[in-house]
Structure 1
Amino acid sequence: MKTSIRLLGGALAAALFAAPVLADTVKIALIHGTSGSSLDAYSKQDETGFEMGLEYATNNTMEVNGHKIELIHKDTQFKPDVARAVLAEAYGDDDALIAVGGTSSGVTKAMLPIAKQYKRILLVEPAVADSLTGKESNRYVFKTSRNSSQDMQAQALSLNPDKDLYVATLAQDYSFGRDGIAAFKSALKDTGATVVDEEYVPLKTTDYTAAAQRMFAALKDKPGRKVILIYVAGGSDPLSKIAGMDPGRYGIELSAGGNILPAMVSYKAVPGMLGATYYYYGIPKNPINDWLVTEHEKRFGTPPDFFTAGGMAAALAVVKALKESPSLKTDDLIKTMAGMSWDTPKGEMTFRASDHQAMQDMYAFKIKVDPNVKWAVPELVRVIKPSEMDIPVGREDKN
């Protein structure tokens, strides 16, 4: 009898070990504004890129180390209070391991304390402001999107600044705009260039006449090169509107960073304009970008856009972290991601261990007008490497 029991116990144990183990599902919440603002186009691109990135990184299995990946979509409506509520819901009710978002820098900033409260990772994408990895941030926040300092240091380098350069700046009056101009001014320090005027306009401004006239007045009598730098998000098109006011009669040039393809149509008004960009589908040359361009054109009939690449970069970071982390515990994921490098459509990115900002290439360009292309083409002048940019450390992480 004892032998039978012992044999039965051994057989039962063998059966248990042979049985398939049900893997935990990894839930990832995409927290973006998909209603309530013209910036929803950014969100849609980012989420498309994220989904394509998961497909690429998992070889279309949507599975990592035996864990199925489930996506949860939440709409912030571009309202800070809604963003806080839906992020808390994603972590608490939905048990999301990682959240990705948001779109507006101001809205995303309101989400940072929620990540700390729930002790879960918030991967910031595509919001830009430096402050998102700054002193008010926390160890649970990582950022794949470029920050304002990367934007503006690249923008400054693209202008080849020296003592003969005089600049007036135009930006929106919130964290994205003010962080960006602060970073631009910092990048010009010690170059000899002079910022003669700073104009900040409300977020929903569509008429830039008064601000442009003030900038013209500040620049027109200056010697040397005179440039108006435009750092405005959304679809209000300040570039072509100010170009239409003929700044050239005062010898004033315009400069702006890259943008989504529909917005780049207006750049046809400024052939030869110098600027810097985070991404344009025709610039990076690597297998991941080749796949993204080919598949996006096949599925949607258009090339991938500015924020599509960002979404894919975020997904590739998540998958690598899940593959390499010793467990799904948040502390293990943080230790894996801090200092982690991974391949993206832009080439290699690295999360800086100190504040979790992704260090990445930027691209100096010159605008070319091709009648066979709907939008203006930012032709590569040169790649600006992370080592060329002095990006301030926003926060010292304590792992």
Structure 2
Amino acid sequence: MGRKRHQVRLPAVLTAATALLLAAACGSPGTAESGSGGTGSTEPIKVGLVYSKSGPLASYGKQYMEGFQAGLDYATNGSKKIGDRAVEVTEVDDAGDPAKAVSAAKDLIGKGYKILAGSTSSGVATQVAPIAEQNKVLFISGPAATDAVTGAGTYTFRSGRQTSQDINTAAAFIGDVQGKKVLVFAQDSAFGQANVAGVQAVLGAKGAKVEPLLVPASATDFTPFATQAKEAKGDLLFVAWAGTTAQAMWTALGQQGVFEATTVVTGLDITATWPAYGPVADKVNFLSHYFAGAAGTEQEKAMTERVTKAGGTVDLFTGDGFTAAQMIVHAAEKGDDPDAMVQSLSGWSFDGVKGKMTVRAEDHALLQPMFQAKLTGGATPTAELVKKLEADAVAPAVATK
């Protein structure tokens, strides 16, 4: 499955406050604990990263991995050690295939790994979570956005955002959604239908009137669907689109005057996709999980410096990797007991790339700021921050299982 192992055994570098690991209650700065979490062991701390190194989400996986390496360096003051114990990271490529991911997770657990992370795909995350629960190992999902990861079990956490936070960020463009009409413009596919269901679950529960406008996946002429979107007279048009027809779809919305008729919102994807919006780029309102330069935090600066120095580029999911490393270092300070790791993460608040992050104790949702953005600059757009929404403003409902 393609695996890469690198073990680091470097002396600890004790520089003044180069890493900030924040305690849950008081929020005071600290560093990775000396010693070995009370275990007396000097054996390596094994971390298995099962992620999309190849496959359709390989670009996301690359960003995650670059962020993880930067985060591990930051959280350990450059030592790649927690106390006296080296952090040994094993990468396994799941290629976005849940079956490969499950096989890899079982293999790593069989070799004694107590910490797994990295899920890039939602389909992978929902399959690995039960394996972590059955074997009582810590699992920190990565960029996978499905709400199903939150509340999936005692041992399951996430280092990225979830779909409900995206939807709440979109809704914030029109304020209180009670009684307002929200049209979901999407392809008639599993992806599109999932977005309709998500918007209905989140905004429908807040009193919005949610209606789908589903376009056949085989469609190449989007004019009639754009006309329907305009005539629907919605308060918000939530666009969920994937694939090579995106530019033609956005062009049709612009030609039919949809942007003048309603507030159009979609998610800001990786930088490489921005040119696809063409001439309507500056008319779209973007909900954003993250883009380079959005946050202005010390942690964002530290991540950017490290990623850039290593030859990488900060993008949408770089922060998810950085956050995963922060969470793993904090958890592993407690030694090798996954139950102690879970206890240390549940309710923990810390300063992350995006700002203050909190692991909600009830369901392990990662409460975090979100962003609203605009694209400017024509053929080579750049993102500009419109508004930062604090964690409470976009928090998902508590998951109940």
Structure 1-normalised TM-score?
0.81
Matched, 1:138 2:157: no
Q: For residue 336 of structure 2, give the secondary structure of its aligned residue in structure 1.
A: coil
Residue in 1 aligned with 2:5? none
Counterparts of 1:128 and 1:90 in 2: how far apart (Å)? 24
Summarize the Cα distance change of 1:308–1:99 in structure 2 as closer, same or farther, 3 Å threshold: same
Q: Which amino acid aligns with 1:101?
A: G
Measure how far apart 1:97 and its partner are: 1.8
Which of these residues, 289, 301, 318, is aligned with residue 290 of structure 1?
Answer: 301
Contact residue 125 and residue 145 of structure 1 kept, 8 A:
yes
- The residue correspondences of 1:93-112 to structure 2 (distance < 5 A) are 93=111, 95-112=112-129
CA distance in 2, matches of 1:213, 1:374: 26
Aligned equivalent of 2:59, options 41, 47, 54: 41
- Secondary structure at the counterpart of residue 271 of structure 1: helix
Partner of 2:33: none
- Residue matched to 2:31: none
Kindly report which structure 2 residues correspond to 1:53-132, keeping only aligned pairs within 5 A, or say none: 53-93=71-111, 95-132=112-149
Matched residues, percent identical? 25
2:44 is aligned, of 6, 15, 25, to: 25
With over 3 angstroms needed to count, the CA separation of the structure-2 counterparts of 1:340 and 1:177, relative to structure 1, is farther
Partner of 2:32: none
After superposition, give the CA deviation of every residue in 1:42-93 in whole Å (9 maximum; x if it has no partner).
Answer: 0111011111100111111110121110000111122221111111001112
Q: Which has the higher helix share?
A: 1
Q: Partners in 2 of 1:395 and 1:200 — Cα distance?
A: 33
CA distance in 2, matches of 1:226, 1:118: 44
Corresponding residue number in structure 2 for 1:222: 232
**CA distance in structure 1 between the aligned counterparts of 2:386 and 2:155, rounded to whole angstroms:** 37
- Provide, for residues 3-45 of structure 1, a one-character-per-residue CA deviation record: whole Å limited to 9, x for no partner: xxxxxxxxxxxxxxxxxx76021110110122232x1110111
Q: In the TM superposition, what whole-angstrom CA distance separates every residue of 1:198-223 from its partner, at most 9, and x where no partner exists?
A: 4277xxx6x5536x456435433234
* SS of aligned partner of 1:102: coil
Residue of structure 1 equivalent to 2:370: 362
Match for residue 168 of structure 1?
184
Q: TM-score, normalised by structure 2?
A: 0.81
Amino acid at match of 1:123: I
Larger Rg: 1
- The answer for the alignment partner of 1:3 in structure 2 is none
Tell me if structure 2 keeps the 8 A contact 1:320–1:342: no
Contact 1:280 1:305 in 2 (8 A): yes
SS in 1 for 2:283: coil
Once the two structures are superposed, residues 238-285 of structure 1 have per-residue CA deviations (whole angstroms, 9 ceiling, x without a partner) of 542212224442435642111111112323432131121111111111
Equivalent residue pairs, number? 357
SS for the counterpart of 1:209 is coil
Q: Is 1:384 the counterpart of 2:389 in the alignment?
A: yes
Q: Cα gap change, 1:132/1:100 in structure 2, threshold over 3 Å: closer, same or farther?
A: same
Q: Once the two structures are superposed, what CA deviation does each residue of 1:298-348 show, in whole Å capped at 9, x if it has no partner?
A: 33264x11111110011111112223x3x3201111111111112211112
Alignment partner of 1:266 is 2:273: no
Is contact 1:164-1:223 (8 Å) kept?
Answer: no
Q: Does the Cα contact within 8 Å between 1:360 and 1:385 map onto a contact in 2?
A: yes
Separation in 2, partners of 1:97, 1:275: 38
* Unaligned 5+ runs, structure 1: 1-20
Cα distance, 1:220–1:42 mapped onto 2, change above 3 Å: same
